[in-house]
A and B are shown apart, each in its own frame.
Chain A
């Protein structure tokens, strides 16, 4: 596929009226890889290639078959190519000059996976061209096909991993400047470990702080209501959004109240989401300090984040 373009290039360079019938149907446009294949080689070697096919049409046919092409009619007047070396060389050099610019541009722009796969797989194909002479047909055919596929797979996989590595590098602070996959991965691992350690530290601190505060979910939610609601939030909307979870915790809360017979607290806590009654009830209880601290906590949380959208909450729950 890459070298059909090469054959087409050769025939085009030699003589336009001489195009062998089998090669007419080949893409020259898609043969950018073919041109660059030829152009990777220094000009003398390119000319050698041209010469190489000269001595016997059968060996060129073997070469063509070995490269995995299905060019059934061999390019007929091969001996004539040898006689035309000098002008073909010049024409080829001119084309080389023109297309090397294109190739360079392609390689610079081609950071996307498809481009890099083609340009990087091409030199290996040209290497195979050099080592062609004297190899049998069919086994080489199969090996080349599987090899190409494996290489393409490997390239694709590496591209995937590199893309995700970039993503991780953006996440982890200070990873942009590090060169090399292994070091970046080490840094990422360190970051994950440090985050997990932070969680553990904070949970220890929470446990130390905890016995001081009676952690009351309903009051917390009420105070969160207070900071979030601009009047746009309906109590019913909230109830719709968090129906099962809220009522569950309310029920568990009520259960505890009834079972343990704690000091008098309102048995019913109608969750209407309105500010005034909630505040009023909290004042009645007389747990002023604790509730203030809890409210401060929730204010802290809410101030630092965007406002809660009911849609988002519904999605998450």
Chain B
């Protein structure tokens, strides 16, 4: 994919990176004892696979470099009761939150709130930053969907 010069940086790695991360996460899932036992409920398994998909997507998209991926990984780590520490620029976040109160354009704000609920980690961001993150998030999501589609197609019985 030829990348044209875009001052807003939203490049996303190729499909195989996503594939690799997803497969690795899945295989880690397999090695857990609880997974391969047949008396597992399907819903639990589905949830685990979904979690694995999101975590692998966050990793593939560049780990802690993006706000949404960072918050995703943080959430996942919390669920596993691991304390993962990222290099957070605390001061900058609070400064941004203080300035956010001044900048409200009622037309955008409603939609911006909805976006913030959808995109992980959207709580403390200004609208312009939020839109960058959304663009990157959309790209990564579509990559992940392609990978999973290929997997399912390859594995489903013919």
Tell me, in angstroms, the Cα distance from A212 to B20 when the chains sit together: 21
Tell me, in angstroms, the Cα distance from A29 to B53 when the chains sit together: 59
Does A305 count as interface, using CB distance less than 8 angstroms? Answer: yes
Chain B interface residue count, CB cutoff 8 Å, equals: 65
How does the 8 Å CB contact mask read for B135-146 relative to A, with 1 for contact and 0 for none?
A: 101110110111
Chain A contact-residue range equals 35 or more
Residues in A124-149 with C-beta less than 8 Å from chain B: none
Residues on A with C-beta less than 8 A from B20 are 313
Determine whether the beta carbon of A192 is less than 8 Å from that of B135: no
Mark the stretch among A6-14, A93-101, A296-304 that contacts chain B.
A296-304
Most B CB contacts (10 A, CB to CB) among A157, A204, A207 go to: A207
- B143: nearest chain-A partner, CB-CB: A305
The chain A residues found within 8 Å of chain B, CB to CB, are 157-158, 160-161, 163-165, 167-168, 171-172, 181-182, 185-186, 188-189, 191-193, 195-196, 198-200, 202-217, 220, 245, 249, 252-253, 255-256, 293-294, 296-298, 300-302, 304-306, 308, 312-313, 316
A-B contact number at CB 8 A: 171
Q: Which of A188, A212, A313 contacts B17 (CB 8 A)?
A: A313
Determine whether the beta carbon of B28 is less than 8 Å from that of A305: no
Determine whether the beta carbon of B152 is less than 8 Å from that of A209: yes
Does B118 count as interface, using CB distance less than 8 angstroms? Answer: yes
Determine whether the beta carbon of B24 is less than 8 Å from that of A217: yes
The chain B residues found within 8 Å of chain A, CB to CB, are 1, 6, 8, 10, 13-17, 19-20, 23-24, 26-28, 30-31, 36, 38, 42, 45-46, 49-50, 53-54, 60, 62, 103, 105, 107-108, 110-112, 114-115, 118-119, 127-128, 131-132, 134-135, 137-139, 141-142, 144-157
Residues on B with C-beta less than 8 A from A199 are 50, 53-54, 141, 144-145, 148
Determine whether the beta carbon of A164 is less than 8 Å from that of B111: no
Tell me, in angstroms, the Cα distance from A186 to B108 when the chains sit together: 10
Most A CB contacts (10 A, CB to CB) among B36, B62, B112 go to: B36
